[in-house]
């Protein structure tokens, strides 16, 4: 079964994260498939807008921790980020075509970073966001350390990183992190907005995105690299080992 589904609809390509048995958590295959699909979308003249969503009732749980710990060996989180999420985040931000995160359910960890990197976030009313990393004693990565404070403010970003509390779709909307919230009309709303973007001025949209990147995210690549350095250190800590053990044993971690 492919880990990513792709459907072309009225000038928009809908890319569906498709690992429902793992809450659409990212493994290496799905990450590389998404990178490849975004490259294809950029080069396809039929595609004028990209929508990223999840299969079923979940957007994505983030990185598949089981894959990271498979084999039990020492893992370089920095190397992993340099091959997966860092280029993916930069790819989304550098795409000349609008990218919508259609957040149809829970969105956590690296998937939260991917959603924040998209141009717009349209969330189902029952969806929510979780930073996630502190639960297993890791630093935020996938651009969360730069995107989240820009959307909701530094104080709130730190609070929700420390606490790991859920940010509801409605709260995200009130804070300016989510562009639109939909209930029973969620799917229709997503496709309506995607259709409007697909009918828009392609070159002007691309130029505008470059301008926003230059003004608001000029140091994005530097931040992603620094996140990798911090994550490499955190990934070797005793706290992280305890956090991962607690995650698999379905208990609260005992830090300190």
Beta carbons of 62 and 132 less than 8 angstroms apart: yes
Output the pLDDT for position 18.
98
Q: 12 in a domain, yes or no? A: yes
Q: 101 in a domain, yes or no? A: yes
Beta carbons of 61 and 22 less than 8 angstroms apart: yes
Query: Which residue range is the domain that position 127 belongs to?
Result: 4-184
Q: 226 in a domain, yes or no? A: no
Q: 227 in a domain, yes or no? A: no
| Low-confidence residues of the chain: pLDDT under 50 | none
Output the pLDDT for position 109.
97
Q: What is the CATH number of the domain that holds 53?
A: 3.90.226.10
Task: For residue 224, give every residue at least 6 positions away whose Cβ sits within 8 Å of its Cβ, in sequence order, or none.
Answer: 81, 85, 86, 89, 90, 141, 143
Q: 219 in a domain, yes or no? A: no
Output the pLDDT for position 68.
77
Q: 78 in a domain, yes or no? A: yes
Output the pLDDT for position 67.
84
- Count up the domains in the chain and report the number: 1
16-53 pLDDT tens trace:
999 999 999 999 999 999 999 999 999 999 999 999 99
Q: 193 in a domain, yes or no? A: no
Q: 136 in a domain, yes or no? A: yes
pTM here is 0.96
Provide the phi-psi class of 24: left if phi over 0, else alpha when psi is between -120 and 50, else beta: left
């Amino acid at each position: 079964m492919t880990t990513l589904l792709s459907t072309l609809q009225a000038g928009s390509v809908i890319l569906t994260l498709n690992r429902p048995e793992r809450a659409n958590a990212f493994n290496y295959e799905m990450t590389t498939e998404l990178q490849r699909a975004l490259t294809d979308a950029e080069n396809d003249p039929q595609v004028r807008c990209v929508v990223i969503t999840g299969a079923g009732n979940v957007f994505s749980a983030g990185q598949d921790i089981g894959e990271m710990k498979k084999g039990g060996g020492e893992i370089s989180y920095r190397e992993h980020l340099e091959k997966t999420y860092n280029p993916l985040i930069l790819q989304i931000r550098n795409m000349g075509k609008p990218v919508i995160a259609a957040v149809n359910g829970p969105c956590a960890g690296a998937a939260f970073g991917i959603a924040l990197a998209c141009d717009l976030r349209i969330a189902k009313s029952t969806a929510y966001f979780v930073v996630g990393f502190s639960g297993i004693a890791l630093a935020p990565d996938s651009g969360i350390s730069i995107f989240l404070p820009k959307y909701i403010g530094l104080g709130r970003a730190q609070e929700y990183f420390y606490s790991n509390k859920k940010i509801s779709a409605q709260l995200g909307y009130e804070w300016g992190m989510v562009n639109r919230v939909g209930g029973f009309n969620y799917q229709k709303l997503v496709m309506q907005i995607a259709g409007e973007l697909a009918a828009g001025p392609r070159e002007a949209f691309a130029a505008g995105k470059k301008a926003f990147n230059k003004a608001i995210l000029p140091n994005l690549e530097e931040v992603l690299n620094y996140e990798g350095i911090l994550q490499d250190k955190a990934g070797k800590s005793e706290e992280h080992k305890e956090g991962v053990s607690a995650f698999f044993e379905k208990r609260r971690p005992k830090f300190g």
